A = this chain, B = another copy of it.
């Protein structure tokens, strides 16, 4: 067998290729339904329920990276169940977007295994996130992070910032997340935008909860922050927001930016938030006028027995992808 392997030159593969070889060798013995479409079997537990043949890593343009990290949450519990709930819901979405007359799944959406949490503190976990995100970007993937608590976005943004000079970040959130430290660490959900804004400029949308210290920091620094009351129902703010961003944009969507009426499944649900069409209008405007290079959707805390928020989160990922790949300007250079 070693000889055999030599001949096909598998040795040079850096990975233990047992599973792949086995499939190859026993291919005639493997029923089609194991890896391929067979109408007698349901869709797999991938984002969009995509089969291996529609979502193989090598050909997929998009990599969905689930990060069920929940270390430092404050009030509710359960955001580590978020990625699985979002993916489960996504299997029941229509893959056709009637607004765009488009099926973005055809660009190939590969769902990765969940990133394994590190329990020794957020710093090492953020390093892991940055590292893996970087590897995915270096494979040419458009990366979508699915949380998990908001802290993870810093890990994601770091990997993007290294590779996309002039990046800016668009944050949807109820909370400013601008504390310097919280619960004894600078790396937590309440400080994540402070950390991010230390490396790239950020525009904050939907804010309706912050401390006096954060308000002072915003004022002193002249940070771009759009309070929820300015954004809810506005038909013109999308342009203003868009113009506050640089050409290359990473979007971080903390789901509590949306109104609790449509998104109760968050850790600290603040009344007075954004509606579904408020968010879509802004993202669409950004997609049409800027380059969206990646994004994340975080802080889904599934409520047992209520699937509506999970479904919204799943569809939001799909809408953003649709805007990006259908309407997005060609990538510069």
Chain B residues near A135: list those with CB within 8 A.
31
| Contact between chains at A122 and B120 (CB < 8 Å) | yes
New A-B pairs, 7, CB < 8 Å, besides A2-B8, A4-B7: A18-B56, A20-B24, A45-B45, A72-B119, A75-B311, A76-B307, A271-B311
Chain B residues near A217: list those with CB within 8 A.
none
| Contact between chains at A78 and B78 (CB < 8 Å) | yes
| Contact between chains at B20 and A23 (CB < 8 Å) | yes
Which of A7, A10, A131 has most chain B Cβ within 10 Å?
Answer: A7
| Contact between chains at B28 and A14 (CB < 8 Å) | yes
CA distance A159 to B211 in the complex (A): 36
Residues of chain A in range 192-218 having any CB-CB distance to chain B below 8 Å: 207-212, 215
CA distance A19 to B229 in the complex (A): 39
Chain B residues near A165: list those with CB within 8 A.
none
Residues of chain A in range 273-290 having any CB-CB distance to chain B below 8 Å: 276-277, 280
Say how far A300's CB is from chain B's closest CB, in angstroms.
13
Name 23 A/B residue pairs within 8 A (Cβ), A-sorted. A1-B5, A3-B7, A13-B27, A14-B32, A16-B53, A19-B35, A19-B56, A20-B35, A29-B139, A34-B57, A75-B307, A77-B78, A94-B175, A94-B211, A96-B210, A98-B215, A101-B215, A120-B123, A121-B121, A259-B261, A260-B311, A264-B308, A269-B311
